Homo-oligomer: A and B are copies of this chain.
Amino acid sequence: MNLLLLDEGDFIDHQRARVTDSRRLQHLLKVQRVKVGDSLKAGRLGALMGQAKVLSLSKQQAELQLTLDQPPPPKLPLTLVLALPRPQMLHRLFQVIAAMGVPRLILLGSARVEKSFWQSRRLASDATRHELLLGLEQARDTVPPQIQIERQFKPFVEDRLPAIAGDSLGLLCHPGDYPPCPRSVSGAVTLAIGPEGGWLPYEVELLEKAGLQTVQLGARILRVETAVTALLGRLF
């Protein structure tokens, strides 16, 4: 937790907040070991960040005086389209995209996405939100990525993806004899990454029709959050 992230409910007035939940309070007391009078980095969810001075502190609550005057760091110019990964990958993925500054993630159905994945409790909005906040706290950002669920591949890719990809550089990662993913691009990118085992040929065809060009990532098969992180390091 490199940033104390404050939600509407924490605010007493626009310059004071009170933290009462055990997770953040324990972190302040046991990891950061703050004392009354200390200052720490804090931010308002979806808004500015800056300093919080500890006014009072107990095992039940911390009261803070806030000076929030700095914008959060810029986001990447990216729309990330991922075939829904298996549930046990989701919590790390959400943390990573929030930490890296991905503004928008679209989780997409695909023939190789198992139906049961959509029932995961990790897709519930409170679970998603929790992981995104952990990523923001890690990276010092206040603005959570938007998560969009598109369970049906064809209507999304045919009807909505062309407008989303728009004038951006549209890239589709797929193993095979394709050009390598470009490096250090300027401007917006729409990046689509397939499921374990890859997109079907029919899916590649529809994604290409929607304006994406197919690129490959080398011989190594990476976990989804590792592949995403390496690609963002390469692209931006």
The reply on A176 being an interface residue by CB < 8 A is no
Kindly list chain B residues whose C-beta atoms are within 8 Å of the C-beta of A233: 229-234
Could you tell me the distance in whole angstroms from the C-beta of A89 to the nearest C-beta in chain B? 12
- Nearest neighbor of A233 in chain B, beta-carbon distance: B233
A234–B231 CA distance with the chains assembled, in angstroms: 8
Instruction: Please tell me if the beta carbons of A221 and B2 are within 8 angstroms of each other in the complex.
Output: yes
The reply on A124 being an interface residue by CB < 8 A is no
Interface hub of A2, A138, A223, A233 (most chain B Cβ within 10 A): A233
CB contact list, A47-100 vs B, under 8 A: 73, 96, 99-100
Instruction: Please tell me if the beta carbons of A140 and B221 are within 8 angstroms of each other in the complex.
Output: yes
Q: Bits for A213-236, please: 1 = Cβ < 8 Å to B, else 0.
A: 000001111110010011111100
- Nearest neighbor of A140 in chain B, beta-carbon distance: B221
A204–B138 CA distance with the chains assembled, in angstroms: 24
Partner pick for A73 among B100, B138, B220, CB 8 A cutoff: B220
For the complex, count residues of A whose C-beta is within 8 A of B: 25
Instruction: Please tell me if the beta carbons of A223 and B99 are within 8 angstroms of each other in the complex.
Output: yes
The reply on A141 being an interface residue by CB < 8 A is yes
The reply on A139 being an interface residue by CB < 8 A is yes
Q: Bits for A1-24, please: 1 = Cβ < 8 Å to B, else 0.
A: 010000000000000000000000
Instruction: Please tell me if the beta carbons of A96 and B232 are within 8 angstroms of each other in the complex.
Output: no
The reply on A170 being an interface residue by CB < 8 A is no
Instruction: Please tell me if the beta carbons of A226 and B99 are within 8 angstroms of each other in the complex.
Output: yes
Give residues in A with beta carbon < 8 Å to B.
2, 73, 96, 99-101, 138-141, 183-184, 218-223, 226, 229-234
Q: List the 6 shortest-distance A-B pairs measured between CB atoms, nearest first.
A: A233-B233, A230-B233, A139-B220, A233-B234, A229-B229, A73-B219
